[in-house]
A and B are shown apart, each in its own frame.
Chain A
Amino acid sequence: QVQLQESGPGLVKPSETLSLTCTVSGGSVSSGSYYWSWIRQPPGKGLEWIGYIYYSGSTNYNPSLKSRVTISVDTSKNQFSLKLSSVTAADTAVYYCARTLRFSYYYYYMDVWGKGTTVTVSS
């Protein structure tokens, strides 16, 4: 059974870059059947899709975050990662990684989620 685990610093200073990694176990990021997503949830608020990546390196980002987001994949480590630059307090959130079933650019959903990791942006 596939499991996903987020890891990274829990505290990031304003204007710096947030970096998180998602380690996949029980499955392979190189599986051509899945994409791999990042989603976040600010405290007490709803979910926001950040973007996804395919094992080939092909990505798709939320246009509202696109200028600051980079998602990458490391097939040798069975991991994928998120970098979000120039962070502010508004980027404080629980960040989730998730396995994604994508059938087209508009039809995709997340079927397995990590437990999430809290990132606070503060000096």
Chain B
Amino acid sequence: QSVLTQPPSVSGAPGQRVTISCTGSSSNIGAGYDVHWYQQLPGTAPKLLIYGNSNRPSGVPDRFSGSKSGTSASLAITGLQAEDEADYYCQSYDSSLRGVFGGGTKLTVL
């Protein structure tokens, strides 16, 4: 069981907006630790999507955005496209002295 909780799956039609939540606790996100997001396309390695809660690396479309509040963080994807179909993971730090990932969310584009 992951320290950070994500919904197993979300879905949306092309052009729609979807959000993926990442819920932690007072020992990780709630302690003020930042959240990063990764996209894993089928059969490939994860790719950095968002760092420091809301920052996009160069080359990541502005359709992807991140936010954090309290013990949770969210990834929003607007203008959903077929190529966005992937697994998404959040990552933060836990007071148990380790980096931690969420369990992952599978995004299906209908």
Would you call A108 and B99 a contact (CB within 8 A)? yes
Which residue from chain A places its CB closest to the CB of B50 in the assembled complex?
Answer: A109
Kindly supply a per-residue 1/0 record for chain B positions 73-110, scoring 1 wherever the CB is within 8 Å of any chain A CB and 0 otherwise.
00000000000000001010100111111111000000
Would you call A106 and B33 a contact (CB within 8 A)? yes
Task: Note all chain A residues with C-beta closer than 8 A to B98.
Answer: 49, 62-64
Task: Note all chain B residues with C-beta closer than 8 A to A45.
Answer: 103
| Cα-based distance from A74 to B48 in the complex (angstroms) | 26
State which of A96, A105, A106 has its C-beta within 8 Å of the C-beta of B45: A96
Main secondary structure of the interface of A (DSSP, over half): loop
Would you call B57 and A48 a contact (CB within 8 A)? no
Known A-B contacts A46-B2, A107-B93, A109-B51; the reply to A115 vs B45 at CB < 8 A is: yes
Task: Note all chain A residues with C-beta closer than 8 A to B45.
Answer: 96, 113-116
Task: Note all chain A residues with C-beta closer than 8 A to B48.
Answer: 109-111
Size class of A's contact patch?
Answer: 20 to 34
Would you call A113 and B46 a contact (CB within 8 A)? yes
State which of A105, A111, A114 has its C-beta within 8 Å of the C-beta of B57: A111
Known A-B contacts A64-B98, A109-B36; the reply to A47 vs B93 at CB < 8 A is: no
Residues of B4-46 at the interface with A, using a CB-CB cut-off of 8 Å, are 33-34, 36, 38, 44-46
Task: Note all chain B residues with C-beta closer than 8 A to A62.
Answer: 98-99
| Cα-based distance from A5 to B57 in the complex (angstroms) | 22
Interface residues of A (CB under 8 A from B): 39, 45-49, 62-64, 96, 101, 105-111, 113-116
**Can you give 14 A-B contacts (C-beta < 8 A)?**
A39-B46, A45-B103, A46-B2, A46-B104, A47-B89, A47-B101, A47-B104, A64-B98, A107-B52, A107-B93, A110-B48, A111-B51, A114-B45, A115-B45
